[in-house]
Structure 1
Amino acid sequence: MTTSIHDTALGRLEAEGRLLNSVLKGATKKPGRVGFRGDIALKFAAKMADEARPPEISSDQVIAAAHAGDGHIAFFAGFLLSFEYLALLADVLGDGLSPQGRYFVYCDNIDLSTRYHVDYGGATFHVLPIDEATVYNEILELLYLEKNELKRLDTAGKVDAIVDKAMGFAQSFPKISYEEGLKRMGPVRDLYANRPV
């Protein structure tokens, strides 16, 4: 029997309508594991009549996995435009967070030479800069996974390979508080600046 997303800690996010633009939202090749690739809405925009509007704040390029019967999200990697949104992310993931989980957050407005551990919401987040690349490319590089070796796999297989490797990730970064991170972060980039109209 195929595992449903509703049997996992990702089920609540799905029920709340937060899992958007997915290229994967369902069972992977590993029994009992559900994977997600897409965006997670962190703050919804005010609704006008019945039109669906994009979220005000989201975590984009998310790769996440959870297991049936486990109340926690095992793995999460995603992009945040600002380090400040880490609190919002932790709030949205809520009781899905676990001290045993592996959570990687790539922030647009932290120094490219820095990597932190930030404890928040009962979990440890690995906070890293994003260096003009995608979360997918960054996480492969961090975990020493060869892109060419994953090419033959489908999306679910790629998620499995990433999650399996990430669960053994034990690299240590300097630990800072969320408040310290707020002091260190840079200005938030306007994603729409310098775009042709």
Structure 2
Amino acid sequence: MTATPVRDELADNPFARLQHEGRLLNAVFKGRTTKPRRVGFRGELALRFAPRLADEARPPELCCEQVMAVAHAGDSQLPFFCGWLLSFEHLRDVAEVLGDALHARGKYFLFCDNIDLTKRYQVPYRGAMFYVLPIVESTVYNEMLELLYLEKNELKKQSTAAKLDAIADAGCRFDLPFDIISYEEGIEVMGPVRNPHENRPV
């Protein structure tokens, strides 16, 4: 029996548009998870594309990295999304790209490189609430395990799909309140943007 192509699995949920726009990049996982009707994605979400020169495909100018997200067949919105941003200001780009896929009751986590390590915020934007946190544990995966009190050793032997389900399920139940600030207030308090290419060998 021929397996159902991944593109068909993404056809009737919010990933369909993102896939069509070429925004789902460098996928570690993309397809059905272990839960009924659920599909998931782990990889990068392209936020801004570089201008195209003739037929030359150029890498995006801006991405949300280390993304983990799930959706359900027949639903038009994402119940769970998390990822890493170099700068808090790019929250706006994430919200604009996800657009109608955002839900008022969805759980959306963004770990930002230039947020005070002692601060955690909730930021309302486009009718959704974003949890904005500093990046401390080096990866979004580790950060989510820490935030959601999930044991890494218990998940170690699970498949990528099962790990994504465990994080998404716990993330959707998360309800710890943080300080609520506006996007504009976040811009004012964010730190300088690090040059990710600094000190790299040429």
Match of 2:125 in 1: 120
Q: Structure 2: any 5+ residue segments left out of the alignment?
A: none
Check if 1:51 corresponds to 2:39.
no
Measured in 1, the distance between the counterparts of 2:11 and 2:120 equals 34
Runs ≥4 in structure 1, deviation > 2 angstroms? none
- Residues 137 and 143 in structure 2, CA contact (< 8 A), matched pair in contact too: no
Paired AA for residue 168 in structure 1: R
Q: How does 1:1-197 map to 2 (within 5 A)?
A: 4-131=9-136, 133-197=138-202
Per the alignment, in what secondary structure is the counterpart of residue 53 of structure 2? coil
1:104-163 deviation line (CA, Å, top 9, x unaligned): 000001100000000001100000000151000000100000111001111101000111
Aligned length: 197
1:73-120 deviation line (CA, Å, top 9, x unaligned): 110000011100001110000000001111000000110000000000
Paired AA for residue 124 in structure 1: M
Residue range with higher mean Cα deviation, 93-102 or 2-11: 2-11
With normalisation by structure 1, the TM-score equals 0.97
Residue range with higher mean Cα deviation, 107-116 or 43-52: 43-52
Per the alignment, in what secondary structure is the counterpart of residue 7 of structure 1? coil
Measured in 1, the distance between the counterparts of 2:174 and 2:50 equals 36
Pairwise CA distance, 1:48:
2.0
Pairwise CA distance, 1:17:
0.4
Q: Structure 1: any 5+ residue segments left out of the alignment?
A: none
